Structure formats: C-alpha cells, structure tokens
Amino acid sequence: MYKLILASQSPRRKDLLKKAGIKFIVLPSNISETPDKNLNLEEQILKIALDKALACLEQNNYLKYQDNLVLSADTMVIVDGVCFGKPENKVEATSYLKLLSGRGHQVKTALCLLNCKTFEHVQEITTTDVFFRQLSDSEIESYVDSGEPMDKAGGYGIQGLGGTFIASYKGPFDNVVGLSMESLDRLLNSTGWKIESE
C-alpha cells in the first residue's frame, strides 16, 4: 500500500481527491512551468507534469525508497494550437477571456504518478472540449475583478463563477477542474499500485 503525495497547491485538486476518499499529503514542488517549445503541445504538458513530480522527490529526499507515490499534474487551455497557462496579470486574464468568448477550446491535463521506491513513472493526458457562450466586456471585466481567473489555466474556473460562461463541454468535467479521477484510476490500475484511502 502506497502513501499518495500530491505535488500541487491547487485547492481544486485537493478537493477532488478528498471527495474520492483518497488519503494524501500535500508537498507542492516549485519549478518553472515554461513550456519547452522544442516539444509538441502534449509533450510540453506531459514534461511539466513529470518535472513537477521529480522536483517534489528531489525537494523531499526522505520520500525516496519508501512506499510513496507522487501525483503531479499540469493543465493547459489550448486555442488555435497555442497553450494558455495561468494569466500573469489582469490584462492577460482579460485577453484570454476575450479570445475564448463565443468559441470552443481544449483543456488538456497531464497526470504523472512517480513511484518513490522504484523510480518508475506512468503518465496520461486527458482532453476535454469546452465551448464558451458570447461574453460581454462588462462580464469579463467583473469576472477578472473577482480575482477568480488569476490562478487558473486559461483564466477561468469551470467549478466557480466561470462555469456560467460554459455553453457546453465534451469530456470529463473534473479534467477541466485540474485532475481527471478516471485518468488517475487508469494509471493506478495499469501499474497495480494501491493507495491508502480514508
């Protein structure tokens, strides 16, 4: 039985794991989330997720050779082949939302599970297609002023006020939140690694 280590400060990811009854501890890793432009979009997202898991292990050396699994994730919003992470300021958040208004985009989340005992890792990427209704400038402005967009890929949270902007979506909802539980289950089942539950 493995202890799950969540290498993320995201309150959304914590909530999803708690709701699933999974026991875990939070040890966020600090890395640059700048995508490697030499890789294609999916490879970029997978690499950031893996880098987060490896950084968590390096920053918490005592995890090594123990029955621990590090779970890391990276979420990106993709429009016209361009990746959007978390906006750096209100101006960027506003430009993201204007770009998303009245059209579709993809949300891709890469998950990585790193075994601290064997140093093996498995990864998977999940895609959800999301369609925004047309947004007015005043809606965008008041949403940005709420502060909600600032720590979210693409500048919106589907589980918060940003959910009112969604006309429809196709694919896992929790993937847009930041962690596909189906994807996590598949990774665990494919490896046979068992994790502690509450």
Catalytic residue list: 74
- List Cβ neighbours of 164 (8 Å cut-off, separation of 6 or more): none
Give the Cα separation of 130 and 150 in Å (integer): 19
- What amino acid occupies position 126? T
Contact indicator for 152, 167 with CB cutoff of 8 Å: no
Give the Cα separation of 56 and 29 in Å (integer): 5
Contact indicator for 47, 39 with CB cutoff of 8 Å: yes
Give the Cα separation of 173 and 176 in Å (integer): 6
